[in-house]
Amino acid sequence: MEAGRPPLHLVIVGGGTAGWMAANLFAAAWPRNRVRITLVESPDIGIIGVGEGSTPLLRKFFADLGIEERDWMPRCNATYKLNIRFRGWSGKPGCASYSHPFPTQLDVHTSRAFYVNCLTRRLGLDVETSPDLFNLNAVLAAARKGPHAAENFPFTVQYGYHFDSGLLGAFLRERACGNGVVHEQALVERVERAENGDLRALHTRCGRVVAGDFFVDCTGFASLLAQQALGVGFRPFAENLFNDRAVVMPTPHAEPFRPETRAVALSAGWCWHIPLTSRMGNGYVYSSSYLGPDAAETELRRQLGMLESEVPVRHLAMRVGQVERHWSHNCLALGLSGGFIEPLEATALHLVQVGIESFISHFDQGGFSADRREAYNQFMSNWFERVRDYIVAHYRMNTRGDTEYWRVNASNDRLSDALRQLLAVWFQRGDLAAELERQKAGTHFGVMSWHCLLAGYGSFPELAPNQPGSHKGDRYHELGLQDFLRRCAMNFKPLEECLPTAVTATDVA
Ligand SMILES: Cc1cc2nc3c(=O)[nH]c(=O)nc-3n(C[C@H](O)[C@H](O)[C@H](O)COP(=O)(O)OP(=O)(O)OC[C@H]3O[C@@H](n4cnc5c(N)ncnc54)[C@H](O)[C@@H]3O)c2cc1C
């Protein structure tokens, strides 16, 4: 910062998870004499209040802020997430369910065998290809183990979290305000622009004017600054992601829970089951072109065994797609205001974090230059598209065929070139890793994720006739991976022993 120059005023609008994540990371990145941060939110509008599953990237978020699990997890009723279990997405025999695990350091001992077996199976030979058999996290989740091993076990596993998004927002708000972020509770009614088109100030219902140098739009689907005030266009993904509604209902725990999200295919979408320490979070994500809200609610209640229950549900509309420019003029669109790829694989907060981190790094390198803005927009747009492709593949590869929704999804050919090419490589028995490398797409969902999806669905050609009936050429059996993973799992503690408990005054003393 130049000497004597006043600090830049950065104004965040929106106090959902996106707004408070941004406030915390910005406050940690820049000293107050360089960047002054105000967050304006309307208590009348409220937050979306869903979004209870994360990827492992959220661990970095807390680590970067110096926040320990025991500080935040008990306050947010948080649990660990080792994988997502997909159930009912494929009609192929033996594919009723599969695990999409987060990676572990141990994968180096099992992933090669998984890839080789998948190739062998793509050639028509009968070998083991269930992702559950090759991945430690799947084994741990099935055994209700947590992600922490004994000290003398030298491998770590990746994991994410499940949490109450309302409580997480409150925790992050407290933290940000403690680090100098100014919190204004007010409804923004009008956005004032300067002659050059930039945003200049916010006018609130109570008559306050909040001027700023840079604005971050975290106003959720309203996208008050980016889409409404600046007129940034929105590119819907509706042609290959049909889901546009959700119905949400919490339930008490019915049984001991596993450290995993369950994603269960229903008649016109899918239902999530997310274990918090206090309850289960559940929701049915569906397409309103194929199912009405009442029918969706009934189907969700039936799925939960709560048909007769009076527990109220919440109905939500979702806008799936992304803005044409995530950074336009002096405004960054973050969170739902910048785009959303539906909740399958729980990528929204991951994208928020990637967006914040990337903005900090672009800003530090070049401030508000047009070059930086363009580079950022290219980067974010690419992230959204690559994540979208992976999500689309879940629908495109389904073999359920029991409803119109699933049949139309299975025959949908409006795929990106990148996705089309990946699927072609798989079915032509090519090298998926090399194709991902060529597309530079491995950082979004890597080769392991793609193998889990395609093998988990049983997306293979017919078996060759007259198989020898031995395990010859089956790396799973030849390497004794079942026993290897079973013994690795013995080093991990039961889930309950891993979950941190709140720090008490006695602990501190
Ligand atoms: C059904 C569903 C399931 C999801 N599941 C997951 C998941 O498992 N994992 C995941 O990572 N993400 C998930 N998401 C996405 C996740 O919920 C959001 O990314 C996350 O909550 C961030 O939301 P947000 O902060 O962008 O918006 P919101 O939470 O909607 O917050 C918007 C904020 O803007 C403020 N605001 C709006 N207009 C004004 C105004 N005029 N003046 C002042 N303030 C204003 C509101 O008061 C509020 O504070 C899910 C989303 C949906 C719809």
Query: Structure tokens of 64?
Result: 């970067």
Average pLDDT of span 366-374: 90
364, pLDDT greater than 50: yes
220 CA distance to ligand 1 middle (Å): 5
The predicted pLDDT at position 272 comes to 98
What are the contacts of 419-424 at 24+ separation with CB within 8 A? 419/389, 419/392, 419/393, 422/389, 422/393, 422/450, 423/393, 423/396, 423/397
Average pLDDT of span 102-128: 95
Asked if 127 contacts 494 with a C-beta cutoff of 8 angstroms, the reply is no
Return the C-alpha torsion angle 475, 478, 481, 486, nearest 10: 160
Angstrom distance (rounded) from CA 109 to CA 68: 30
The predicted pLDDT at position 1 comes to 43
Q: Report the nearest atom of ligand 1 relative to the CA of 346.
A: 9
Per DSSP bridges, beta strands 314-317 and 280-286 are: unpaired
Reported as a pLDDT band with limits 50, 70 and 90, residue 440 is confident
> Tens digit of pLDDT for each residue in 33-81?
999 999 999 999 989 988 799 999 999 999 999 999 999 999 999 999 9
Query: Both ends of the chain: CA-CA distance in Å?
Result: 41
Q: Report the nearest atom of ligand 1 relative to the CA of 334.
A: 26
> Tens digit of pLDDT for each residue in 380-436?
999 999 999 999 999 999 999 999 999 999 999 999 999 999 999 999 999 999 999
The predicted pLDDT at position 310 comes to 85
Query: To test ligand 1's pocket by mutation, which of 12, 38, 47, 223 has the most ligand atoms within 8 angstroms of CB?
Result: 47
Asked if 225 contacts 13 with a C-beta cutoff of 8 angstroms, the reply is yes
Average pLDDT, the chain: 94
The predicted pLDDT at position 501 comes to 85
User: DSSP code of 227?
Assistant: I
Q: Is any ligand 1 atom within 6 A of the Cβ of residue 336?
A: yes
* Residue partners of 83: CB distance under 8 A and separation at least 6: 99, 100, 101, 102, 135, 137, 138, 141, 260, 261
10: left (phi over 0), alpha (psi -120 to 50) or beta: beta
Reported as a pLDDT band with limits 50, 70 and 90, residue 442 is low
Query: Structure tokens of 364?
Result: 């530090």
Give, using CA atoms, the residue closest to atom 1 of ligand 1.
Answer: 246
Percent of the chain with pLDDT over 90: 90
Average pLDDT of span 4-19: 92
108, pLDDT greater than 80: yes
The predicted pLDDT at position 503 comes to 57
Q: Is any ligand 1 atom within 6 A of the Cβ of residue 48?
A: yes
81 noted as active-site residue: yes
Average pLDDT of span 119-147: 96
466, pLDDT greater than 90: no
pTM of structure = 0.95
462, pLDDT greater than 70: yes
The predicted pLDDT at position 504 comes to 52
Angstrom distance (rounded) from CA 237 to CA 126: 37
Which residue carries 């990637």 as its tokens?
A: 354
Beta strand spans in 42-82 (E):
79-81
> Tens digit of pLDDT for each residue in 142-198?
999 999 999 999 999 999 999 999 999 999 999 999 999 999 999 999 999 999 999
Q: Which of 60, 81, 145, 440 is catalytic?
A: 81
294, pLDDT greater than 70: yes
For residue 84, what are the β-bridge partners?
A: 100, 261
Reported as a pLDDT band with limits 50, 70 and 90, residue 444 is confident
The predicted pLDDT at position 368 comes to 87
91, pLDDT greater than 70: yes
Average pLDDT of span 303-322: 94
Query: To test ligand 1's pocket by mutation, which of 13, 25, 44, 50 has the most ligand atoms within 8 angstroms of CB?
Result: 50
508, pLDDT greater than 50: no
The predicted pLDDT at position 175 comes to 97
